[in-house]
Chain A
């Protein structure tokens, strides 16, 4: 498949929109705002997406990149070949599913396309900014969209999105293995795959230096995982290791976590 080129050219105003998304709680409303920012970024780059099976408001002025059922079938083929073990079944055909698409399904399809877009288009220019927005889209999708799609009627879209999220984490973040593993841990949590979640969370933590901003947040994420699974000894051992390596200004917070581990342990043993 020949990937069509797009040179990404964000407007200065997109910085404030992106920062506003970082400050927001995550919900379906936030997810729609993330999709809108991605639409605006493509439109500003002269590449507004137009979905060929419906009249989409996404198009607007400027040159349009048309996506048709063939593109989506192509993405499904990629997912069939690359899916991780234990991934859910993909639908054979989309034709019957899409004409009725509205609301939630439309959000699901747009999220899918935006997560997979690097497979369809050759992105140039401000690709880093684009994938940072995709990262918020990924986490919002896991948090808000996937649970909404867990019904019999919408299961095909839930399953497609699971594959798209797995593909996105594997392919788009190859140069940032810590974030790649973190995204995978979020997906594994949704799937209830505890082994994968633990391995991915632990890898994300180990791949992060103590002087990175997200070091303590990753430590707390893994600590939560251990407590959720009643592994109090592992949690204590882990925190003592974190305490030894962490910068001085974070030690109070780690001591608080150690105290809470003892409290959780005594509560669980009553």
Chain B
């Protein structure tokens, strides 16, 4: 999903983020169903780090 204000300079592109986070969330639900809460949480934390809006780059060039 394209989002307002993304700074793609260092981050993954939105399409890859979407694919990775959707896959990790599904894996987390599967692990949770199996009772493996620790691994489920680990998958969700990775998904969160991939999907969160990253910090802005320092100002480049001149106004």
Residues of A participating in the B interface, judged by any CB pair closer than 8 Å: 14-15, 18-19, 22-23, 25-26, 125-129, 131-132, 135-136, 139, 142-143, 176, 179, 182, 186, 189, 211-214, 216-218, 220-221, 224, 227-228, 247, 249, 253, 256-257, 260
Contacts and interface: CB of A to CB of B under 8 A. Distances in A.
Contacts of B54: 128, 132
Question: Chain A contact residues: over half helix, strand or loop, or mixed?
Answer: helix
Per CB-CB distance, the 6 closest pairs between chain A and chain B, nearest first, are A128-B55, A213-B51, A214-B51, A214-B52, A217-B47, A217-B48
Question: Chain B contact residues: over half helix, strand or loop, or mixed?
Answer: helix
Given A211-B4, A213-B21, A217-B21, A224 B37 contact: yes
Interface in B23-38: 24-25, 28-29, 32-33, 37
Interface of B: 1, 3-4, 9-12, 14, 17-18, 20-22, 24-25, 28-29, 32-33, 37, 40-42, 44-58
A193 to B, nearest CB: 15
20 contacts: A18-B10, A19-B11, A22-B49, A23-B20, A128-B56, A136-B49, A139-B46, A182-B52, A212-B52, A213-B21, A214-B48, A217-B21, A217-B25, A217-B44, A220-B44, A224-B32, A224-B44, A228-B37, A249-B1, A260-B33
- Max count, chain A CB within 10 A of own CB: residue among B20, B22, B44, B55: B55
Given A128-B56, A213-B14, A228-B37, A247 B44 contact: no
B1 A213 contact: yes
B3 A211 contact: yes
Nearest to B55: A128
Contacts of A224: 28, 32, 37, 40-41, 44
B6 to A, nearest CB: 8
A260 B29 CA distance: 9
A257 B29 contact: yes
A212 B57 contact: no
Contacts of B9: 15
Contact of B42 (A128, A143, A216, A220): A143
